[in-house]
Amino acid sequence: MRSAIKKPFIAAALTLALLCGYAVAEQPKQPEMHHDQFGGLDSMNGMKFKDYSDFATKWNFVTVRYRKDTGEMRLTYANDAAMKTLISGSIDYPKGAMFAKIGLMTQDDPGFVSSLVPSGAQRYQLMLLDKEKFKDTDGWGYALFDETGKTFDGDPKEKAEACHACHKMVPERGYVFSQPVKLNMGLPFNIKMQIATPEKTIASRVVFETVKAETLPEKLKKAMPPEFTEIRLLRGDMEKSLFYGTIDEIRPTLAVELVRSNLPTALVGKDGKLFSAVIKTKQPECELPDGKKGIQVRGIFTDVPRGEKNPKIFVRDIMFCEPKS
């Protein structure tokens, strides 16, 4: 049954702050994909996408967010149990509370060149509360599916641990990033909000350590400009459970530390194979979407091409603009 909750004045910050990647917009015919033992399946961590494939029409719309670094638009939804908890300001989510998200690639609208429009789904994400089943991740289970509703490659247990490593930074929100906000200024506002204070921001909850650049994995060391002899490394659960989704999601947090410390900053996996790093460029300033001046940052990160039978890890880089403070 469709929710009876009145939602015209509700939006929220992003519920699932993790699991991001690279995929193309919809194509007339996709080539045959080669998967490992975990990819191309109908279920991940006990969740089948087909059981929730109609969430966009039957659940409550929560928010939309645009990722500037990946060009992705994200639409987030919540079932009734999750939405009622959000609106009440509580963090006591009941068993069965669930969030879902669509990741859409974007493209320029030729009829309105200053805007971007969706160009096809590239992933679907699910987040389910079951404290008995998912006790190792504080009750939350995670699942990720491609644009066809099939699982990606990679161990689902490791992916869930990587997801929750990020969500653990907001325990005061019940490990959920979403926060209800008022959207329509003409409507009454009676929603309790979890106001973020400086000491509770994500950037304040991660720990960095300065290390010598010579100790870095060989691929990252080769990609780094030679003038940098030290780097700030992010320490903690995320380096223990790093996978490709976290590589993109962590980049803005790394950039905050880069601006603060003026040193290259990185998250490196425990085996040294995967990493995400940011460094300043020689171009001192860039322009943010709101017209303000920012700092141009170079992101250096590992990636694996989808669909290859024996994919090899390679290093990519991008340029993006980061606020000065």
pLDDT digits (tens, 9 = 90+) for 216-270: 988 888 888 888 899 999 998 888 878 777 888 888 889 889 988 989 999 999 8
The answer to whether residue 198 is domain-embedded is: no
Backbone phi, psi, residue 68, to 5°: -65, -35
Backbone angles phi, psi at 170, to 5 degrees: -125, 60
Rounded to whole angstroms, what are the CA distances from 128 to 46, 85, 99, 131, 274?
A: 10, 14, 7, 10, 27
The answer on 212 and 175 residing in a single domain is no
Residue 200 lies in a domain: no
Asked whether the beta carbons of 35 and 153 are under 8 A apart, the reply is yes
Domain extent for 136: 10-182
> Rounded mean pLDDT of the chain?
79
What CATH number has the domain bearing residue 26?
A: 3.50.70
Question: Residues 6 or more apart from 1 whose CB is under 8 A from it?
Answer: none
Shared domain for 239 and 151, answered yes or no, is no
Determine the pLDDT at residue 183. Answer: 62
pLDDT band for 189, please (50, 70, 90 cuts): very low
pLDDT greater than 90 at residue 5: no
- Examine the domain organization and report whether 88 and 122 are in the same domain: yes
Question: Minimum mean pLDDT among 80-84, 114-118, 162-166, 310-314: which range?
Answer: 310-314
User: Sorting pLDDT into bands at 50, 70 and 90, what band is 274?
Assistant: confident
77 and 36 belong to one structural domain: yes
Average pLDDT value for residue range 172-195: 62
Q: Extract the tokens encoding 263.
A: 């040193």
Residues 241 and 122 in one domain: no
Whether 189 maps to a domain, the answer reads no
pLDDT cut 90: percent of the chain above it: 31
Among the listed residues 268, 250, 180, 175, the one whose alpha carbon sits nearest the alpha carbon of residue 19 = 250
The reply to whether 153 and 220 lie within a common domain is no
Q: How many domains does the chain have?
A: 2
Residue 190 lies in a domain: no
Q: What is the CA radius of gyration of the chain?
A: 20
| Residue 5 maps to a domain | no
| % the chain with pLDDT above 70 | 76
How confident is residue 307, by pLDDT bands cut at 50, 70 and 90?
A: low
